[in-house]
Amino acid sequence: MKNFSRALVLALATSSMPAFADSLKQSDVDQFIEKTPAVFTIIASVDRRLNKEDKARFKAAIAKMRPYTTMAEMMDDKPDNLLLDGVSQKVGYEDFQHYATVADRFFSVAMSALMVEQFSGLLEKNAEEVNDLFHYLDDPSKPEEKQQRLSEMFDKMCQKQCVNPDDVDIVSQNYLPLSKVLRLKK
């Protein structure tokens, strides 16, 4: 019952307020890009030990753009949480919950952009492939009408899905390296 109450309080708190009041900075991006491979190594080992129900919950959280905070909630009362907290602290975060909150902020913006890229050519003959949405939107040689359509599509998606839409600027400046470290792109 105690864990259920704590989870309910956490869910209410995170749904009614942004993850952080402050915008992410370039130093946050740099730390995340440099340190995430170490955290992902532990996440991979923990993931192998998840039961089917937890794996399904994690996959559903990807669609909701909150996979890492969902994992933090799932691990809260499990022994593997010590491993996740330990590696997160070793790389400069307070604990895994703090790392997960930052990760979801980056993930939600980058994943929204990736989804727009993937759907950018639908209903177009000989559609040009969009590999970097933010670069495409800033490229003056690209068709203005398509840029406008993709920009609107991204804005709508991000307003619904992004943890903090204020993070778009910092993610757009670091989109490809963040997408690679989040394993969204090769």
Q: Could you read off the pLDDT of 47-84 as tens digits, one per residue? A: 888 889 998 999 999 999 999 999 999 998 888 999 99
Nearest residue to 112 via CA among 163, 61, 60, 170: 163
pLDDT at 37 (0 to 100): 95
Separation between Cα atoms, residue 165 and residue 152, nearest integer Å? 14
Q: Could you read off the pLDDT of 7-58 as tens digits, one per residue? A: 333 333 333 333 445 789 999 999 999 999 999 999 998 888 888 999 899 9
Cα–chain center distance at 14: 15
pLDDT at 123 (0 to 100): 62
pLDDT at 62 (0 to 100): 92
25 CB-side CA count, 13 A: 3
Q: Which two tokens stand for residue 121?
A: 């050519």
Give the chain's length.
186
Sort 124 into a burial class: Cβ within 10 Å, 0-12 / 13-18 / 19+.
Answer: exposed
Q: How far is CA 116 from CA 48, 111, 175, in A?
A: 31, 9, 14
Q: Could you read off the pLDDT of 115-149 as tens digits, one per residue? A: 999 988 776 776 788 999 999 999 999 999 999 99
Q: Could you read off the pLDDT of 85-107 as tens digits, one per residue? A: 999 999 999 999 999 999 999 99
DSSP assigned state of 22: S
Separation between Cα atoms, residue 129 and residue 123, nearest integer Å? 13
